Structure formats: C-alpha cells, structure tokens
Amino acid sequence: MSAGTVDRPLVSVVVATNRGGPFLAEALDSVEAQTYPRIEVVLVDDGSEDPEAIRRIVAGRPTTTVVRQSAGGVSTARNVGVSHTRGELLVFLDDDDRWHPQRIELQVEAMADGSVVASYCGMRTVGVDGEELVAADQHQVRDVHDVLRRTMGIILPNLMTRRDTFVRVGGFHPAFRRAQDLDLVIRLALAGDLRFVDRTLVDYRRHGNNNTRRYRELCRSIDHVVRLHAWAAYERGREDLVADYRASLARNRRYAAWRATASAREHARRGRPGAAVGDLVWLARFAPRAPVDWLAERTRRLRAASERGVAAPDVPAPGASAADVPAAQVRATDGTTPGVTAPTPAARR
C-alpha cells in the first residue's frame, strides 16, 4: 500500500441484513468494484433464518467481516456494525442496492472540507434487473431548512458521514424501526453542513418484497419522528425550525394520501372492495387535511411560478399515479430498509 493511500481516510461500510436475498452478492460486488482504495465492510446478520447462506455469499471477500446477532431491528444492527468498524467515514449499504464505482471516491473528496459533516450523491431507482425506473433528482441543499422540509432526497443509501459526528449525534435511535434514517439526517443537518456530489452514484432498487400495510407504518413513523423534532425546536425557541417541521408534516400527509388512494385503486382493481375501503378509512383518520395541503401547495407553486414568469411545476393530487410524484418527495418520506414503495421500494425489512 502506497504512502498516498495510507494518508487517505479509511471508509467503513456497514451492511445490516436479516436475509441473504437475491441481491446481496451484487451489492457487495459493487463495494469491491470501488475505485477508492481504503474500504472495510462489516455485515451485520440481524437474526437471519439462514446464516450459512449469508456466509456463503460473503466467502472470498477478505475486506468483509460478518457479525451475527439475534434479531434486534435495523437501527440496532447498524449501530452494532459501526461499533465493529475503524473508519473515519461511514457509509451504509442496503442488501438490495448497488453503487457505481466512483461513489466512495467522489464522496470522500466532498468531505475534505472540515465543515462538512455529511455528503450525499445522486441516486436513481432501478428495477429487479437493474433497469432505470426513476432518474436521480437530488440537488444541493441551500441550508438546514431545505433538509428539515425534506425537499432534497437525502436518505441513508446516498449518505456518507463522519464517524465522530455520527457518534456525537447519537447514531440510530434504537426505538425507530421505520424512518430512522430521517431522524439521523435531521440530526446531522443540525450539526453542520451537507455537501452534494452532483453525480448519479447509487442505484436504489425497487422490487416486490414488501407488504401492503407498510406504507401506513412508514407514514406514522415519519409523523412521530418529525413531531419529536418539532417539539424539541419549540422548546429551544426555534420557531423557524418549527415552521420547517410543519411543512415536512404536510408533505407526509400528501404522501399518505397518494399512497393510500393508489393502494385503494389497486385493491379495487383486484376485486377487494373491503381492503380498498380500509385504505381510505385509514387515510381519513391519519390525514384528513391532505386535500387542503395539496391545494395550499399547488397555490404556493402557482404564485411562485407567476412571480418568475414560468410554468408552475405540478403537485400530484391525492390518488395521482407513481409517475406523477417527484422521486425526491417519495424518497424523502420513504427511506428505510428499509426504503419504500412505488417509485422507490417501501420498507424492505
């Protein structure tokens, strides 16, 4: 190893999984194909039913260490993984995603500025066979308010953070099984600057391994996480941040309306009227203000577009199709193991 290589920071990759899955080998292959020379990988087997299947996939990968534990949830698994690493920089890989070869190298370069606590990159959604479904749409945040309003598409799969900052903000909250990466991103944004790498470097895979009720759990979890942070901001007298969290809650309600009505339509198409009604009843209870939120956002965008003399970007109405919903909006609400449905996979654990 050359002296120049030794001088580069060690990057630790943490993979938390409770299955081998059809994509794990491809995910690990994408780490081995990185152009950056100093990488270690810790894979946490979070109580999988077939640990030998995971070990067979990992066999022959000298930079990968397997840590097995009883099932404790993805937040705990990732924290355990970090505790077994040595790197200055941390990256988290889901077991069904994959990276482009320069992902680590370019994000390490973005972290050279000491004021940057985390970097993130462009991330597209791909299908089972790797075909592009939704192009990357991330952008550089202007300030912490963009992050708290969730307008930027920063979730765990496209994030790199400093180890010391991760520890300082408390890592992953072990009580959160959904939206734990949203909680972490908020705390990182409050701790320092986030730097964008304007390249598509992560493939975020959409596939059918999810269940129909998880969008409800996800929306409730996002609501819970955002309200906790809003209350903390209120207690500190940060009314500017409280306004950001209110905007984030409205975004979550719009997502809930889109996801519930889409699910209801699918149930109706399949001849399950009871399930369709169940989706709509849940929506009426969880987000009764969703139509009002949509109208307010549409009015705001029309006014802003009029002032700039350009056409207004569309705001998907409740029940819009997946193609009508900006990918960043879905990813900003959906990023758990995680992740998400429709254009991006829904909670995959």
CA–CA gap between residue 175 and residue 335 (Å, rounded) = 16
How is residue 314 annotated by DSSP?
P
Decide if 177 is inside a domain: no
* Domain annotation covers residue 253: yes
Q: Is residue 255 assigned to a domain?
A: yes
Residue 27 lies in a domain: no
Domain that holds residue 315: 214-347
Q: Token match 């519930």: residue? A: 260
Tens digit of pLDDT at every position of the chain (349 positions): 554 565 899 999 999 998 877 899 999 999 999 999 999 999 999 999 999 999 999 998 999 999 999 988 899 999 999 999 999 999 999 998 999 999 999 999 999 998 999 999 999 999 988 899 989 999 999 999 999 999 888 999 999 999 999 999 999 998 888 899 999 999 999 999 999 999 999 999 987 653 335 889 999 999 999 999 999 999 999 999 999 999 999 999 989 998 898 999 999 999 999 999 999 999 999 998 877 777 777 787 788 777 777 565 555 544 443 333 433 333 333 333 332 223 333 333 3
Domain count, the chain: 1
CA–CA dist 51, 173 (Å, integer): 26
What would the pLDDT profile of 30-40 be if each residue is shown by its tens digit?
999 999 999 99
Q: Look at residue 199 and give its three-state secondary structure.
A: strand
**340 in any annotated domain:** yes
Return the residue matching tokens 């950001």. 244
Residue 280 falls within a domain, yes or no? yes
Nearest to 75 by CA among 22, 18, 120: 18
Contact, 333 vs 222, CB < 8 A? yes
In the three-class reduction of DSSP (H, G, I as helix; E, B as strand; rest coil), residue 168 is classed as helix
Any domain includes 165: no
Contact of 159 with 167, CB cutoff 8 Å: no
Name residues whose C-beta falls within 8 Å of residue 114's C-beta, 6 or more positions apart in sequence: none
Residue 189 host element (H or E): helix 180-191
The answer as to whether 323 is a domain residue is yes
Q: 0.75 exceeded by the pTM?
A: yes
